[in-house]
Amino acid sequence: MTPLEHNQLLSVLNTNGFHAEVRTLEDWVAADATFAPGRCYVTALRQSEEYLAATSLPEVADALAGEGFELERSCATPPGAARGAFPVSGPGAFHRLVRRIYQLSLALPTAPFDTFAAKARAMPASTDAERLVIQRVGQDIFRNALLDYWDSRCPLTGITDRDLLRASHIVGWAECDGDEHRLDVHNGLLLSALWDAAFDRGLVSFTDDGAPMAGPGLSDLARKVLGLHSGLRIAGLRDAHRGNLRRHRAKYGFPTEVRSSDIESK
């Protein structure tokens, strides 16, 4: 690797959140993030505009695979600590992939909880008012984590206006199995405001594969405005989301085991 190639790869890492260079590993450049766990590895295939990026976090690698990124299996074996390598074509796609690794590193696996626990330890919690302040801190951290996980986009409607996006707990804050569950991004959806209100009140829920379900209390006009018959679906749900969604469906009287085909067949 020439010094110019090294600097170009390092620039991509630095631009997208990975500021602490570790060292050059053969044809790979590695760096840690300042504000997130994990390490990112990058390389370029010479004489082409093909690039590869890898992460040290297995949960991030799994999430990338779930989003449609394909593992490279034929060449450019990544360093041993990396969890596979994902190829892309062109500088723009390369920047987006490294940025996505950084976003997921901020949200997975326990980064939001770790941030919350560190802040909560330094805050008094002897009165209801003080405990409410801690809860608000946790909710702000949770929202930021969901913005990173869902790439600042409602996964159902595609809305990207941040003022219209809500951090929707699937299992409510008071019903969670502790703070780690409360801060887990798999217990949250980044929904637009109207969908958040309907979901929070149990007027709608979602199947295991992300199709919306309407409860009996939802009016015909609300169904029309929400676009319930327009083929909407949340893409990218993981098994951890599905477990929480089953609890949501059970709480509000929806079938607990259901997929979109069960709805479409009726």
**Alpha-carbon gap, residue 74 to 83, rounded angstroms:** 15
pLDDT band at 265 (very low <50, low <70, confident <90, very high): very low
- Phi, psi for 189 (deg, rounded to 5): -130, 140
Q: Which residue has the tokens 């477990």?
A: 243
Bridge partners, residue 41, by sequence:
30, 54
pLDDT tens digit string along 41-66? Answer: 999 987 678 999 999 999 999 999 98
152: pLDDT strictly greater than 50: yes
Q: Give the integer Cα–Cα distance in Å for 189 and 240.
A: 12
Question: Residue 263: pLDDT band by 50, 70, 90 thresholds?
Answer: low
Percent of the chain predicted with pLDDT > 90:
79
Confidence of residue 78 (pLDDT cuts 50, 70, 90): confident
Q: Which residues contact 230 (CB under 8 A, 6 or more apart)?
A: none
Kindly state the average pLDDT of the residues 137-141: 96
User: What is the percent of the chain where pLDDT is above 70?
Assistant: 95
Residue that has been written with the tokens 């637009």 in this structure = 192
Q: Residue 9 — φ and ψ, nearest 5°?
A: -65, -40
- pLDDT at site 261: 63
The tens digit of pLDDT for each residue in 195-223 reads 999 999 999 999 999 999 999 999 999 99
pLDDT of residue 260: 66
Helix (H, G, I), strand (E, B) or coil at 33: coil
- For 35-44, how does the pLDDT look when each residue is reduced to its tens digit (9 = 90+)? 899 999 999 9
